[in-house]
Amino acid sequence: MLDIQSNISLKSYNTFGIDAKARYWVEVESQDDLKTLFQLTEFLTIPKLILGGGSNILLTRDFDGLVVKNNIKGIEVVREDSQHVYVRAGAGENWHNFVLYCVAHHYAGIENLSLIPGTVGAAPMQNIGAYGVEIEQVFEQLEAVHLKTGEIHTFLHSDCRFGYRESIFKHEAKGEYIITSVTFQLNKTPTFHTSYGAIQETLTEMGIADDQLSIKAISDAVIRIRRSKLPDPAEIGNAGSFFKNPEIPKEQFDRLKALYPAMPGYPIGETAVKVPAGWLIEQAGWKGKRVGNTGVHTKQALVLVNHGGTTGEEVKALAAKIQASVADQFGIHLNPEVNFVG
C-alpha cells in the first residue's frame, strides 16, 4: 500500500541541501506501485516532480504538488551477442553502484562515468557524460510510464533526441513520464578512452602501464580525479557542474584566443569549439567567491555551493550574476546544466 505523506521537507533529498517542502510525497518501489498511484484520482491532475538522487536539481521554492521518489531497483542481463551485453537496470538504482557492477562483470562502456551522482533513471534524461563518454553512446532503450495515462512506453535511441546534456525528457516530454528502467548496450571488448582530462596522467601516477590498462583502472582513475576536484555533497551542498560547457563558433573562439592566449578549447567538427565553463567563470573572478550563504567552490569554479542555510532563489540569483559577468567579459552565454524546480 502506498504511503502518501504531506508537507515533507526535501532537504535530505537534494544534494544542494535546500530546505524546500513538498505538498505531497510518495515513494514507489515497482511498476505495480505506479499502477496503484494512477488509481488515486485525486492525484492525477496535480503537478508531479519525479525525484531520483536529487543531484541535478535546484529547488527554488516549495513544490505545490506530488513528489514521487523513484526507488525502482534491479539489474539483469537481458541478452547478449558476440560483441555486446545488454544490461537493464531499474531507474532507482544508484548510478555509481551500477557502474561498479558493470566494471566488476567486465561490461565495458561506462567506466569513464564513475562517481557521477544520481540514479540510473536520470542518466538518459541528462545524457550524462564525462571524460569523452556520454550515455547516448551506450544507450539501447528505456521504459517509462506516462504520468497522465499510466501507459508504459518504450523509448528507443532515436526517440530520446539526445544532445549535449539534453534529451526529449528535458524539453517536449518534460514532466510527462517517470522512467522505470534503462537498458544499456555494453561491450565485451573495451575501447579505452584515456585522452580526455587528466586520465592518462592519473593512470601514470597510479603506476598503470599501457599493457595493464583495464576498465577497472580507468574507473579508479576517474574516481580519484573526481574526488580531488569536486566537493562531496555530504560535506558541502552542491549539484556538481552547474553550467554546461558552451559551444561557440570557431571564428569567435579564434578572436577570444587572441585576447586570452591561455583560453582552452576543444574542437567540435570544423566549425565549433567547446570552451570549459569553469575556466570562463574563474577568469571572471568568481572562483571561491561567497555571496551570502551561497558561493562558488574554491577548487572548481563550475560548482556552486551551499555554505549553509541558503535558498534556491539565492543560488539562482548567484547563477544569474555569473552568467551576466561571463557574457559581459567574453560574449558567451552560459546555460545551466542543473534543472530548476519551482
- Which of 111, 134, 166, 337 is catalytic? The answer is 337
How far, in Å, CA of 43 to CA of 65, rounded?
A: 9
Q: Is 166 helix (H, G, I), strand (E, B) or coil?
A: strand
How far, in Å, CA of 122 to CA of 55, rounded?
A: 9
Number of H helices, E strands in the chain: 8, 20
How far, in Å, CA of 321 to CA of 226, rounded?
A: 26
C-alpha cell at 272: 565549433
C-alpha cell at 305: 555551493
**CB under 8 Å to 208, separation ≥6 — which residues?**
217, 221
Q: Count other Cβ atoms within 10 Å, centred on residue 284.
A: 21
- φ, ψ at 82 (rounded to 5°): -65, -25
- Which of 88, 165, 224, 226 is catalytic? The answer is 165
Q: What 8-state DSSP symbol labels residue 169?
A: G
Is 290 among the catalytic positions? no
Is 76 among the catalytic positions? no
- Which of 55, 143, 241, 314 is catalytic? The answer is 241
Which burial class, exposed, middle or buried, applies to 172 when counting CB atoms under 10 A from its CB (0-12, 13-18, 19+)?
A: exposed
How far, in Å, CA of 116 to CA of 290, rounded?
A: 25
How far, in Å, CA of 120 to CA of 306, rounded?
A: 25
Angle between helix axes 215-229 and 95-104 (nearest 10 degrees) is 150
The single-letter code of the amino acid at 203 is: L
Q: List the catalytic residues.
A: 165, 241, 337
